Amino acid sequence: MKLSELKSAGHWPTLLAAFLYFDFSFMVWTMLGPLATEISESLARSGTFLDPNQKATLLAIPILGGAILRIVLGFFVDQIGAKKTAIMAQLIVIAGLFYAYFRGEAISYQELLFVAVTLGFAGASFAVALPQAGQWYPPRLQGVVLGLAGAGNIGVVIDFLFAPKIAEIWGWPAVFLTGGVLSTIILATYILMAKDAPPEVYKPNPKKPADYLMLLKDRDTWWFSLFYAISFGGFVGFANYMKVYLMNTYQTDMSYFGLEFINEPNVKVVAGYFGALCIFAGAVLRPVGGAVADKIGGVKSLYIFFSAVAALAILNATLVHNFYLAIFVLFLIMANLGMANGAVFQLVPQRFGKDIGIMTGIIGCAGGLGGTALIKTLGWSKAAFDGYGAGFFIFSALVLFAISGISLVKTRWRTTWGVTAGGKI
């Protein structure tokens, strides 16, 4: 496949617009993660002290909202088109960002929860950008098109690289101003560039609620939802909670980065940089996981990636007490979760090719729910035991349960739909 085919076979401005919309939306969706420490300290100065569970709730709400809204926005894409749906969702996100900026450090915890809900609409962009880009292109280019449009996971890396530094210089509300301005620019660009595919290119086939219910009766829907709740849920959950975890566990170690002592505000920046490093591994290795699954099969790939994650999570909970070793282990955890994401979606189109649009919403929702559960579990672990060991043990147990599930379904998959799927199972 040559890149020139993307220009001649479809509508490249829409593909570019979909990528920009999803990438910046993903950045906004996870914005609270790298700002959690700064926001909680700001609230404490005004007399509101957040316990670990409250911090976890604040970080979890955008992920939960994005999970549920992926199904909602996917339904609207079928009914009114992707472009109208994207504009509506983006306006809600922009309103939330500017509200947080103008309220500034006077904002209350309850108001922040409201802002967090609006950020969920950014996370749901997954269910809008991918279908809109894919509608313009023939089946032979769907893999590369959806891969390009869905490369938005890198947005969370941008958050961790720049948000703490902006907050250090101008204060955390300035990050929301930056996000609001950039989102407005991206919305204007999207309106000018993106187009819904005309009927001669793509004939809409609006889905009814009954179509979703029918797929929920299929047991494979639930198995894939479990696997993605572990892989993507683990990725987005750890990504959003990464800075809180590092600050609560290794703040003293980060105060001596290299040979020169750095002041307290810079510790938050260092935490952001190390968090970005770990998250980057999961973001960029997703297509590598898909390629590995293409070569050896999605089932075998998930065995490998999930086994590595389970072992590393147990290692982090029991033996890792050194900052640099912890970063190395977290890097490997995120890398394997990212590759597992690619492996899951190597299998899904082979099983649910005719219903891939609906399944993207359902399984994507499960991924967000998994991330929400992980964040809340880590917050509970910190509140109950003043540490994160229990949280990592619970996560590793769920990964092992998913591995058992793979063992239960692999023979049936390979002897039924896998026979004619066209790819390695």
What pLDDT, on the 0 to 100 scale, is given for residue 425? Answer: 81
Q: Tell me: the pLDDT tens digits for 55-89?
A: 889 999 999 999 899 888 888 887 888 899 999 99
Q: Which of 182, 206, 230 lies at the terminal end of a domain, its last residue?
A: 206
Q: What is the mean pLDDT of the chain?
A: 86
Output the pTM of the full model.
0.85
The CATH number assigned to the domain holding 165 equals 1.20.1250.20
193 and 261 part of one domain = no
Q: Are 129 and 103 found together in one domain?
A: yes
Same domain? For 197 and 310 the reply is no
Report the candidate in 177, 133, 131, 45 with the shortest Cα–Cα distance to residue 364.
131
Residue at 1 is within a domain: no
* DSSP letters spanning 295-322: HH-HHHHHHHHHHHHHHHHHHHHHT--S
Domain boundary among 206, 222, 246: 206
Per the structure block, which two tokens stand in for 141? 């280019």
Question: Taking residues 151-172, what's their average pLDDT?
Answer: 84
Domains in the chain, number: 2
pLDDT band at 259 (very low <50, low <70, confident <90, very high): very low
pLDDT band at residue 151 using 50, 70 and 90 as cut-offs: low
Least confident range from 40-44, 139-143, 158-162, 171-175: namely 139-143
Tell me, yes or no, whether 243 and 106 share the same domain: no
For residue 209, what are its two tokens? 């609620």
Same-domain pairing of 143 and 241: no
Residue 366 lies in a domain: yes
Q: Judge if 77 and 198 occupy the same domain.
A: yes
Q: Does residue 123 share a domain with residue 84?
A: yes
Q: Are residues 289 and 420 in the same domain?
A: yes
* Residues near 139 by beta carbon (within 8 Å), at least 6 away in sequence: none
Confidence of residue 340 (pLDDT cuts 50, 70, 90): very high
Q: Is residue 140 part of a domain?
A: yes
Q: Are residues 356 and 411 in the same domain?
A: yes
Indicate if 125 and 252 belong to the same structural domain.
Answer: no
pLDDT at 261 over 50: no
240 and 202, same domain (yes or no): no
For the stretch 268-288, what's the b/e string if a residue is b when 16 or more beta carbons lie within 10 angstroms of its beta carbon? bbbbbebbbbbbbbbbebbbe
End-to-end Cα separation, the chain, in angstroms: 24
- Per cent of the chain over pLDDT 70 is 90
Torsion of CA 178, 20, 298, 242, to 10 degrees: 0
**Is 262 a residue whose pLDDT tops 50?**
no
pLDDT band at 153 (very low <50, low <70, confident <90, very high): confident
Q: Are residues 273 and 167 in the same domain?
A: no
pLDDT of amino acid 260: 46
Q: Which among 181, 206, 231 is the end of a domain?
A: 206
Domain range for 366 is 210-425
Q: Does the pLDDT value for residue 116 go beyond 60?
A: yes
- At residue 350 the predicted structure's pLDDT band, cuts being 50, 70 and 90, is confident
Task: Determine, yes or no, domain membership for 88.
Answer: yes
